[in-house]
Amino acid sequence: MKYTKTIAVVGVVDDDESIRQSISSLLRSAGYRTILFASAEEFLNYDRKDETEFLVLDVRMPGLSGLELQRRLCELGRSIPILFVTGHVDDEVRTRALKQGAVGYLSKPFNGEDLLGAIQSALRQ
């Protein structure tokens, strides 16, 4: 499957550095620019966060969770497509994330094709 870059910047928010780096490498190989964050707070404090056009966001992190970041962005009026990734499968959390507007929810470990496909699918809508 061929992936075409349709956005400039994807933010990757995950407390696991190896996951952040892995996702970033995959996205860059598909033509995306990435900005990496170790926590939700780090993303919220980033002074150029408005440049981020898509988020790949871990559900469980120390401090603010991914769901809490999603809620805060909504409160700030910041509509940004979010694809959640998680190592802890929880149907209730998945349902909540999708009801709050997430464009997808993948369980770790996930296939890189699934990640890119989910982003492409969300961007076509």
Contact 84, 75 (CB under 8 A): no
Distance CA 44, CA 30 (A): 26
2-50 confidence digits (pLDDT tens): 555 455 689 999 999 999 999 999 999 998 999 999 999 999 999 988 8
Two tokens, residue 63: 């401090």
pLDDT at residue 70 above 90? yes
Question: Sign of the C-alpha dihedral, residues 24, 108, 16, 64?
Answer: positive
Q: Are strands 104-107 and 33-37 parallel, antiparallel or unpaired?
A: unpaired
pLDDT at residue 55 above 90? yes
77-125 confidence digits (pLDDT tens): 888 899 999 988 888 988 999 898 899 999 988 889 999 998 888 767 6
pLDDT reported for residue 124 = 72
pLDDT reported for residue 90 = 85
pLDDT reported for residue 10 = 93
Helix, strand or coil, per DSSP, at residue 84? strand
Residue ranges and CATH numbers for the domains of the chain are 9-60+82-111 (3.40.50.2300)
